Chain A
Amino acid sequence: MDRAYEIAASVRSGERSAREVIDGYLDNVAARNDELNALLLVSADAARASADAIDAVVAQGKDPGPLAGVPVVLKDNLCQRGVPTTCGSRILEGWKPPYTATVVEAVIAAGGIALGKANLDEFAMGSSTENSAFGPTRNPHDPSRVPGGSSGGSAAAVAAEFAPLALGSDTGGSIRQPAALCGVVGVKPTYGRVSRYGLVAFASSLDQIGPFATSVSDAALLLDAISGHDRRDSTSFADQLIPVAPSLNEGVAGLRVGVIEELTNGEGVAPEVRAAVSAAAAALEAAGAIIEMVSLPSTQFGLSAYYMIAPAEASSNLARYDGVRYGLRVDGDDLSTMNERTRDAGFGAEVKRRIMLGTYALSAGYYDAYYGRAQRVRTLITRDFDRVYENCDVLLSPTSPTTAFKLGDRTADPMAMYQSDVCTIPTNLAGHPAMSLPWGKGADGMPVGVQVLAPALGEPTMFRAARVIEDAAP
């Protein structure tokens, strides 16, 4: 499997052409995308033209940048001017954004090539990619199973070698959980590290864009390319950030690692997943880290808090889909009838469920009991992390309690589906970074993921631990 940094090095040196690289990946897409449905749109012509332009830059003796000629898949909630962006929803079918997301500009500025748009759960709401209006994505390791979600298309695309890199978004685990289920690396950066301008909003206090890759080094390459301040996103950090790549191989000697008791030994965690976390901890210990079990009792309430806060924010963010300025319109005699018909026809079942839940949680009489309480629980979770990080540099837990489940297994019961995110949600509530790394396979032959967590802006340390785990992984 070609690494992105190797591709970039060979394109920059002129040893390999960007055109040759993109043609190879487009062949992989042609061979398997019908089966997997990982990409909703393949920008083959534009990608070839970009590759030719990069080769011309190299021919002039100039440097196209650190991602020279590297194909990158974009989750289809990231805007690229003039390229259809659906968010996996009928309500945005055919919409062409009039602007480009900052992360997409950053990828292109670094010499990367936008290869296509990846399938996702509608508006990034889901844990299996089965909520896409354009059909589910299938897991490349076993097409009868889900790839996880909501960035299931991005994860499957990287696992199936449609591209060495992809971008996704993570609101409650939507990068890390599919990375775990597809056996790739997935990173949710610190809230504010990466600009969200041009990411279609789901839950604005939780959303963050991050990379998928087949290795920790490649994930570092893409994360460093997209990190940094953006005046168009006032929540992006204004301070200079420390990049992750330079310290990647500094090891973990003396690093203090906490294994999260509640998430690792909790009910519903498969024995093989628990064993993977123990083995990863042992690998860190063998490399000189100090391991201890730590307790974060409030994380047990993360799921409940998240499923009030995220739908509440979503109900507000999704009010903009009203049939007036873009997307679907279903006519009605007056404005509210038109709004209601458009939204009923355009949104799928999960999106309606979350809009309803969020509207209810914010409505008069229930605000304090549900939304207000959830925000206070969010404070407790952040305090638990702060306390544990006084004595630990990074934390370890499962990414997903189980390996990839079969399509259809959890669609009938929303709570069963929501349980998929139990280990990833606390990070989003605290605004911290975390990443998922593959650690072998379960009894069912499906990939297992372990999660490394760090305090705000702790990505350089998190990546050092990840490199050691990656080297030791079976």
Chain B
Amino acid sequence: MTPDPVAITRAEVAHVAKLARLGLTADEIDRLTGELAGILIHARDMGELDLTGVEPTTHPLPLVNVVRPDEVEPTLDRDEVLAAAPEVEDNRFRVPRILEAP
């Protein structure tokens, strides 16, 4: 890993917030820049290890695909599910506009 003393910049934190869809305030970005740097610098201890040829573990079990017969079964109750939504129209989830108006 790079021995760069600055683990993460404020601009990077602002960019990551955008990727994570978090509308952070300027204060939150300032605070997180310091906190994330602390955690990332701690994580550099893993740089001491020789990991050549070591396979990554993504999961503790040797997983194989699990399949079942494709049969029609009851699912969640539609009205019950929609009742939990912030806004509904015609049995659909209603959201603010996604595209610019033409």
Residues of A within 8 A of B (CB): 95-96, 98-99, 191-192, 205, 231, 234-235, 298, 300-301, 303-305, 307-308, 315, 319, 322-329, 331-341, 343-344, 347, 352-353, 355-357, 359-360, 363, 369-370, 372-380, 382, 414-415, 418, 429-431, 456
Are the CB atoms of A98 and B77 closer together than 8 Å?
A: yes
Q: Is the CB–CB distance between A414 and B46 below 8 Å?
A: no
Contact B66 A234 (CB under 8 A): yes
| Residues in A whose Cβ lies below 8 Å from that of B25 | 344
Q: A355 contacts which chain B residues (CB < 8 A)? A: 20, 22
* A-contact bits for B53-71, CB 8 A (1 contact / 0 none): 0111111110100101000
Where chain B touches its partner, the secondary structure class is loop
Q: How far is the CA of A199 from the CA of B43 in the complex (A)?
A: 29
- CB pair A379–B22 under 8 Å, yes or no, is no
Residues in B neighbouring A334, C-beta threshold 8 A: 96-98
A14 to chain B, nearest CB (A): 37
> With a CB–CB cut-off of 8 A, which chain A residues contact B60?
191-192, 205, 382, 429-431, 456
The chain B residues found within 8 Å of chain A, CB to CB, are: 1, 8, 12-13, 16-17, 19-25, 28, 32, 35-36, 38-40, 42-47, 49, 51, 54-61, 63, 66, 68, 76-77, 80-81, 84-87, 93, 95-98
> A379 to B54, Cβ gap below 8 A?
yes
CB contacts (< 8 Å) of A332 on chain B: these are 96
Q: Which 5 A-B pairs have the closest CB atoms?
A: A431-B60, A340-B23, A375-B56, A329-B86, A234-B66
Chain A: CB-nearest residue to B18: A340
Which chain A positions have C-beta within 8 A of B68? 231
- Nearest CB in chain B to that of A331: its residue: B96
Contacts of B40 in A (CB 8 A): 360, 370
Whether B57 contacts A373 by the Cβ 8 Å rule is no
Measured CB to CB, the nearest residue on chain A to B82 is: A325
Expressed in whole angstroms, the minimum distance between the Cβ of A238 and any Cβ of chain B is: 8
The verdict on A304 contacting B43 (CB below 8 Å), with A334-B97, A352-B32, A356-B36 known, is: yes
Q: Which one of A301, A319, A324 contacts B85 once the chains associate, using CB atoms below 8 Å?
A: A324
Cβ contacts under 8 Å, B23 to chain A: 337, 340-341, 343-344
**Would you mind naming 29 contact pairs between A and B with Cβ atoms under 8 Å apart?**
A235-B61, A304-B43, A304-B45, A307-B39, A322-B21, A325-B93, A331-B96, A335-B96, A335-B97, A344-B24, A353-B35, A355-B22, A356-B20, A356-B36, A370-B43, A373-B47, A373-B51, A376-B49, A376-B55, A376-B56, A376-B57, A377-B49, A379-B56, A380-B49, A380-B51, A382-B57, A429-B57, A430-B60, A431-B61
How far is it, in angstroms, between the C-alpha of A359 and the C-alpha of B20 when the chains are bound?
6
In the complex, A380→B54 CA distance in Å? 8
* B46 engages A304 (CB within 8 Å): yes
Shortest CB distance A86–B (Å): 13
Q: Is the CB of A356 within 8 A of B61?
A: no
- Name the CB-closest residue of B to A308: B43
Residues of A within 8 A of B38 (CB): 414-415
> What is the CB-to-nearest-CB distance from A301 to chain B, in angstroms, rounded to a whole number?
5
Q: Is the CB of A301 within 8 A of B49?
A: yes
B29 to chain A minimum Cβ distance, whole angstroms, is: 9
**Bound CA–CA A188/B84 (angstroms):** 32
Q: Which residues of B contact A352 (CB under 8 A)?
A: 22, 24, 28, 32
Give Cα distance in the complex from A341 to B45, angstroms: 36
Q: CA–CA, A376 to B98, complex, Å?
A: 40
CA A338 – CA B93 in complex, angstroms?
14
Q: A205-B60, A375-B58, A377-B51 are in contact. Are A335 and B22 (CB under 8 A)?
A: no
Q: Which of the residues A234, A319, A335 comes within 8 Å of B95, measured between beta carbons?
A: A335
Q: Judging by beta carbons under 8 Å apart, are B36 and A324 in contact?
A: no
In the complex the two chains form, what is the Cα distance from A307 to B47 in whole Å?
15
Which residues of B are found within 8 Å of A333, using beta-carbon distances?
Answer: 96-97
Q: Is the CB of A192 within 8 A of B17?
A: no
Kindly list chain A residues whose C-beta atoms are within 8 Å of the C-beta of B87. Answer: 329
Chain A residues, CB < 8 A from B58: 205, 375
